[in-house]
Amino acid sequence: MKLRIAPSPTGYLHIGNARTALFNWLYARANNGKFLVRIDDTDTARSSEEYMLDIVENFKWLGIDWDEGIEVGGPHGEYKQSLRFDRYREVAESLLSSNLAYEDEGAIRFKVPSENQIKFEDITRGAMKFELDDVEDFIILRSDKSPTYHLASTVDDIDYEITTIARGEDILSSTPKHILIMQALNADIPSFCHLPLLFGPDGKKLSKRHGDTSVNLFREQGLLPDALFNYMCLLGWAPGDDLEIFSKEIAISKFNLDDVLPNPAIFDTTKLLWMNGQYIRNISYDKFNKLAAEKITIEIKRDLFDKERERIDKILPCVQERLETLNDITPQIYFLLDEPFEVNKEDWDSVNSEDGQEYLFAIRNKIKDLENFSLENIEKLMRDELKTQDIKPKVGFQITRVSITGTKISPPLFESIYSLGKDGTLARLAETIQKL
RNA sequence: GGCCCCGUCGUCCAGAGGCCUAGGACGCUGGGUUUUCAACCCAGAAACGCCGGUUCGAAUCCGGUCGGGGCUGCCA
């Protein structure tokens, strides 16, 4: 069994293409088959090297690997259609000379036999039947002698011995043309599977007009590849037993193209974000720490100082619990960086009170005298002072939070203070008190 | 218009004649926990497009209808 994905490098890797690649990959892996990646760049005007690199790079990022094709090589050259135009011309010429095609204004058209029909079995859709009367003679070689998609794709599928073609449903109506070419070339007809399309929230084929739907974007937004992978699996398929969060291994062990739903799915990022949060919470501390450092560095556009790293290390476990994407990290740890510190005016006003101010003075003096600046001692000190003054936690803690972190929304208070360190905390408190 | 595909909660999925007074998840609403935001826990609202037929019995099979979508390029 051999499957393939054949992206056209006319744009960054699109989420729809990624999903198609994923299902092909899963099916190949589930059946001990081969998976091949080739580049369908017959549209030379719109294709670019940059897009090709992006597509390949993002397949890898998602954890999709391949046994044959672009970059990894194989018995059929470089797996780029733009390098095989001679081969396609040769096939077009042979079709021409055997009278199965004809010239039309410099182009070559395939002659579709009339009064006949093409039947095939689609893996997810069952029996398909097309009347050839409805299929026009179609161009296989353009007047500039470049091949069209129908020709190039079909010739490659034959030459590379693809046994199962699983692609988007948008090509379902073109399949009779491809079968026609295969028959004309006396090739074996592979199995076909037309996967349901991914729709945007408006119920239309997912495309540019729905905004950026590239895999890149999700990557930049701080999605984990495993989370995206898992989520895409769920678009048109499920492993059963109401299992929703699962590993690639599980997916491979359960996957079957037969089970893929024939109806389109709307790509909605809400659940994806939730799932990403689940994945973030499940990765190891070390891995999270590494990812977080990378993200922060990118966002503040400089390396972290050792002191900053120490502080961030302390708070990260708390941060890991309250994230949706990796991009949510920096705002939460920003108060620990050696960057200009600012208190949000609105937040300050909403937590400011006379009791609060008194509390601030008191804990500042107590912290100054605190010898062992441990998490436990900080908590004890702050709770004791609450009792001394007989005020509610909210009154004392919230004003402290804003003084220390600059905002009402932050990681847990004691951990934040502990991470900031004694000197840092005293400095922040002093700064606030001075402004009173 | 023609050809083709599709139709279960707002969304994703379960359901392959009786286990369905339709299940799970996200989201939503309410509650709990709580020093903020999250996370977490509990509860709730929420769907078989419609009409016929087959059958003792249909979300499941058939027909029609309506609705949505795709293709209809010398794009893929």
Task: Please check whether strand B approaches the CB of A238 to within 7 Å.
Answer: yes
A368 secondary structure, DSSP code:
H
Residues 323-362 of A with CB under 7 A from strand B: 323
pLDDT of residue A203: 84
Task: Please check whether strand B approaches the CB of A50 to within 7 Å.
Answer: no
pLDDT of residue A235: 96
pLDDT of residue A209: 77
Task: Please check whether strand B approaches the CB of A409 to within 7 Å.
Answer: yes
pLDDT in tens, chain A (436 residues): 999 999 999 999 999 999 999 999 999 999 999 999 999 999 989 999 999 999 999 999 999 999 999 999 999 999 999 999 999 999 999 999 999 999 999 999 999 998 789 999 999 999 999 999 999 999 999 999 999 999 999 999 999 999 999 999 999 999 999 999 999 999 999 999 999 999 988 888 888 778 789 999 999 999 999 999 999 999 999 999 999 999 999 999 999 999 999 999 999 999 999 999 999 999 999 999 999 999 999 999 999 999 999 999 999 999 999 999 999 999 999 999 999 999 999 999 999 999 999 999 999 999 999 999 999 999 999 999 999 999 999 999 999 999 999 999 999 999 999 999 999 999 999 999 888 7
CB A58, CB A219: distance < 8 Å: yes
Task: Please check whether strand B approaches the CB of A394 to within 7 Å.
Answer: yes
Task: Please check whether strand B approaches the CB of A381 to within 7 Å.
Answer: no
pLDDT of residue A116: 86
Q: How far, in Å, is the CA of A134 from the C1' of nucleotide B1?
A: 14
Total residue count of chain A as it appears in this document: 436
CA atoms within 13 A on the CB side of A300: 21
- Is ipTM > 0.90 here? yes
Q: How far, in Å, is the CA of A265 from the C1' of nucleotide B10?
A: 14
pLDDT of residue A435: 80
Task: Please check whether strand B approaches the CB of A269 to within 7 Å.
Answer: no
Give, in degrees to the nearest 5, the angle at Cα A210 between A260 and A325: 80
Look at phi and psi of residue A215 and say left if phi exceeds 0, alpha if psi is from -120 to 50, else beta.
alpha
Tokens of A401: 């939070």
Q: How far, in Å, is the CA of A243 from the C1' of nucleotide B23?
A: 13
3-state helix, strand, coil in chain A (%, to 5): 55, 15, 35
pLDDT of residue A100: 96
DSSP secondary structure string for all residues of A162-202: --EEEEEGGGGGGHHHHHHHHHHTTPPP-EEEEEPPEE-TT
Task: Please check whether strand B approaches the CB of A23 to within 7 Å.
Answer: no
Residues 213-232 of A with CB under 7 A from strand B: none
Q: How far, in Å, is the CA of A342 from the C1' of nucleotide B21?
A: 59
What's at A235, amino acid-wise?
A: L
Task: Please check whether strand B approaches the CB of A278 to within 7 Å.
Answer: yes
CA atoms within 13 A on the CB side of A95: 29
> H or E stretch including A402?
helix A393-405
A303 by Cβ neighbours in 10 Å (0-12 / 13-18 / 19+) ranks as exposed
A1 by Cβ neighbours in 10 Å (0-12 / 13-18 / 19+) ranks as middle
**Closest nt to residue A173, judged CA to C1':** B71
Task: Please check whether strand B approaches the CB of A169 to within 7 Å.
Answer: yes
**Closest nt to residue A270, judged CA to C1':** B26
DSSP secondary structure string for all residues of A110-146: E---SS-EEEEEETTTEEEEEEGGGSPPEEEE-TTSP
**How many separate helices (H) and strands (E) can be counted in chain A?**
18, 12
A405 secondary structure, DSSP code:
H
Smallest CA–C1' distance to B16, residue: A259
Task: Please check whether strand B approaches the CB of A262 to within 7 Å.
Answer: yes
Task: Please check whether strand B approaches the CB of A274 to within 7 Å.
Answer: yes
Task: Please check whether strand B approaches the CB of A208 to within 7 Å.
Answer: no
CA distance A359 to A383: 11
CA distance A7 to A357: 63
